[in-house]
């Protein structure tokens, strides 16, 4: 969903990034407290377990400052179609594409993610009079 089309989702669209002792990360949903877990060729929410490899993710940086999210258990990457005909898109796991090479059909744009601050209205931290 676009930010505008997901306003009613509230904190369900927000994720905490949990740094694990092994250097991996997990994503915990702010509303449910569950973690994003690899399951078959997709992702689901499950209770968080620090050492569950299906909930552990590697961040692979791209030169354009986007990142690729690779699951520790499956060694596959989180992907979403770039071209959509609806306000929402599917998210699934696919073979990781390490190079951007559109001529070969191995374009990694669908595996590029950007982590931003939550989309919430907030008051200013301080006001200068």
Which residues constitute the domain of residue 20?
4-111
Q: What is the pTM for the complete model shown? A: 0.79
Q: What is the CATH number of the domain that holds 85?
A: 2.80.10.50
How many distinct structural domains can be found in the chain? 1
Mean pLDDT in runs of 10 for the chain (129 residues)?
A: 62 86 93 96 95 96 91 96 66 84 63 84 78
**90 Cβ contact list (under 8 Å, min separation 6):** 80, 81
In whole angstroms, give the CA distance from residue 99 to residue 101. 6
Is 116 a domain residue? no
> Is-contact 68 62, C-beta < 8 A?
yes
Nearest to 18 by CA among 52, 41, 44: 52
Model pLDDT, residue 102: 47
In which residue are the tokens 């690779």 written? 70
């Amino acid at each position: 969903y676009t930010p505008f089309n997901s306003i009613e989702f509230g904190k369900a669209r927000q994720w905490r990034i949990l740094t694990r002792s092994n250097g991996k990360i997990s994503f915990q949903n702010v509303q449910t407290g569950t973690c994003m877990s690899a399951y078959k060729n997709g992702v689901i929410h499950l209770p968080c377990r620090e050492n569950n490899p299906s909930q552990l993710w590697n961040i692979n940086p791209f030169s354009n400052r986007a990142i690729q999210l690779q699951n520790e258990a499956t060694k596959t990457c989180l992907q979403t179609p770039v071209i959509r005909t609806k306000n929402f898109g599917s998210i699934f796991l696919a073979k990781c594409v390490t190079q951007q090479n559109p001529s070969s059909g191995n374009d990694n744009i669908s595996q590029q993610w950007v982590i931003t601050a939550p989309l919430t209205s907030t008051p200013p931290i301080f006001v200068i009079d």
